[in-house]
Each structure stands twice: as C-alpha cells, then as structure tokens.
Amino acid sequence: MLPVPEPQSDEELLARARDVAGLTLGELGARVGVEVPSESLRAKGVAGQILEKALGATAGSRAEPDFVTLGIELKTIPLDATGKPKESTFVCSISLSAMADTDWERSTVLKKLARVLFVPVEAASKTPLRDRRVGRAYCWSPNAEEQRLMRADWERLALMIAAGDVERITGHLGEVLQVRPKAPHGRSRRRAPDEEGAIQWTMPRGFYLRPAFTRAVLARLRADE
C-alpha cells in the first residue's frame, strides 16, 4: 500500500496499466487503499480514482495532465456487456478564459486529448462495482481524421460560445464532440456574457466525447496493434 511512484516513461506507464488488466476494481482498490462502495450511485468516478493511484498519477485536481512528466491524461472508459463504451467521456469544463484561446490548435480540448491513456473498465450495471474488471489499456494520440472530426465540432461550438449563444447549445450538436451540463445539480449557475456582452447567469458546461467516437478510437487502436 506504498504510494505508486510516477512512471518515468510511456513504456513504463503502459506496462504498468497492462499489468493490472484482468484485476477487479475491488482487488485493485485494496492494493491502493481505496474502499469500493457497493452502491455505484455513491461511487461515480471511483474507478478513475483507483486507477490514478494504481498507475502513479500525480494526486489532486490540477489543470495539468495526470502524468505531468509524460504529458499523458488518464481516462477510464466504462464498457457495457457487449464491450462498447456506455457513457460519453468528459474532456474539460468550458470557461470564458478557455475560449479566449480562439483556435483549435491551442484549445484546452486538444491539449487534454493530445496524449491519452485509455483504460477500459467493465461496467455492466448488473455487475457489482467491486467485481468489474479492468481491460487492456491503450495510449492514444488523435490521428488526422480524428483531429479533423473533433476540430469541426469544436470550431462550431467555440463560435457559438464566443458569440454568447451558450444557451442555444444542446447535447445534440457535434458529431464526435458535444457540450453538456457539468454541474453538481441543475440549479448551478455561473456568470457569462450574452450576445450583447451583458453578464447573465448560465449553467456550467463541459466538452464530452460521444460514445460512438471513443468506440471507433478503441477499435482503431486495437486494429493498429
């Protein structure tokens, strides 16, 4: 139960991730000193937190990648009974200052996703949380086509946000990247300027990758091996 040190190379990180493949969240949680709740409603995010510890991610919430030295972000992907991603993947919150970076190349989204370690985790809802197994991990950098898809969505959404049209954005927009609420509850509000630059209250939102996209990404990574 000693803290796992930060990995010093991509290879070390990937090897470590693949070493824990096949373990259950209960087993892995015990290794890193995390008790896995039996009720998953009260345990959103626990899989991600266990894997952070198990792989030696820098602790705490930061505006930096989980593995600072390597510049790699860790993302766990919940898989349904048929092996497909069952949820969208949170990328980052949307803030005005982040949108001040007005081009895709410098966007928080691309920075976050430039290098990602995807760790699939079984998540069939009938399987108790502690019995869900970790799958084979892959290190992803978006290829040209994947970047084109994300960029097209990002540019449209960024324009709407910059134009003060935030309230007209719904989760329907975007082929691979979407904007959805990111808040503790539906009454959360944060200040933002509207179309005329006046301040108004708006619900906190974040960028997410659609499940169909992460599915395609995982399929490519498996095929590339």
Partner DNA sequence: CAGGATCCACTATTGGATCCCG
Partner DNA sequence: CGGGATCCAATAGTGGATCCTG
Residues that bind DNA (CB under 7 A): 40-45, 47-49, 51-52, 59-63, 66, 73-76, 78, 84, 86-90, 92-93, 95, 121, 123, 125, 170-172, 178, 180-188, 190, 203-204, 206, 210-212
Closest to DNA by CB, 89 or 107: 89
Closest to DNA by CB, 62 or 144: 62
Task: Give, to the nearest 10 degrees, the angle between helix 46-55 and helix 25-32.
Answer: 50
Residue 187 CB, nearest distance to DNA (Å)? 6
Closest Cα partner for 167 from 183, 149, 189?
189
Residue 66 CB, nearest distance to DNA (Å)? 5
Residue 21 CB, nearest distance to DNA (Å)? 15
Closest to DNA by CB, 172 or 196: 172
Residue 141 CB, nearest distance to DNA (Å)? 17
Helix ranges (H only) for the chain are 10-19, 25-32, 46-55, 96-100, 108-113, 144-162, 211-224
Which residues 6+ apart lie within 8 Å of 67 measured at CB? Answer: 6, 7, 13, 55, 56, 57, 58, 73, 74, 117
